[in-house]
A and B are shown apart, each in its own frame.
Chain A
Amino acid sequence: AQKVTQAQTEISVVEKEDVTLDCVYETRDTTYYLFWYKQPPSGELVFLIRRNSFDEQNEISGRYSWNFQKSTSSFNFTITASQVVDSAVYFCALSEGGKLIFGQGTELSVKP
């Protein structure tokens, strides 16, 4: 069965620190899609990135970067120079035939 594990339940950092959120997945599919979503305190789910299994190129978007390693089934997310506005729950997800299977989420708290 497909599974996503986010071992870090909560992370607390001070503003301007770098922080990495870990995501490990399990799948038997050869083609699959991985996602990161952000859920701020207001509750909505905000799409951050989508990566397909054939594209192992790392991606950087501003202060955000993602490291996809198929060999270790990991798709980690790094925030550089964190800000208070980054405080949220972050979910890693795997697409299984369309539906998303989410990890348990990592609650990130960035203190001023």
Chain B
Amino acid sequence: AAGVIQSPRHLIKEKRETATLKCYPIPRHDTVYWYQQGPGQDPQFLISFYEKMQSDKGSIPDRFSAQQFSDYHSELNMSSLELGDSALYFCASSLITGQETQYFGPGTRLLVL
């Protein structure tokens, strides 16, 4: 069965640079979620989209933005990167926000130097 695809899998950036993470949900899933997992931490919700509209927002810094496109893929844009942004970024997708299981992608490991 098709899974959630994330790219890139690994990313190294310098402070103050920008990064774009991409997520391709499971086919026919209409909801995408982004989570950030710091070292030794549990995943923290950043933002979600349902049918290309932002549906919920968590502890996402103002330096970050995200959107969901017409083909349902989503991109997380991160600007003015800080050392503390180094983390594992997960995308998850589900059918019908709030009711169905979220399936996670393999994650993008971001390292900010």
Measuring CB to CB, which residues of chain A are less than 8 angstroms from any residue of chain B?
Answer: 33, 35, 37, 43-47, 50, 91, 95, 97-105
Contact = CB atoms under 8 A, between A and B. Distances in A.
What does DSSP make chain B's interface, helix, strand, loop or mixed? strand
B31 interface: yes
B97 to A, nearest CB: 4
Contacts of A91: 42-43
A35 B101 contact: yes
Contacts, number: 54
B56 A98 contact: yes
Nearest to B40: A105
Interface of B: 31, 33, 35, 42-45, 48, 50, 55-56, 58, 88, 90, 92, 97-99, 101-107, 109
A77 to B, nearest CB: 16
15 contacts: A33-B99, A35-B101, A44-B104, A44-B106, A45-B90, A45-B107, A47-B104, A97-B56, A98-B33, A98-B55, A99-B56, A100-B43, A102-B43, A102-B44, A105-B42
A53 B52 CA distance: 29
Nearest to A52: B99
Contacts of B98: 95, 97-98
A43 B37 CA distance: 10
Contacts of B88: 43
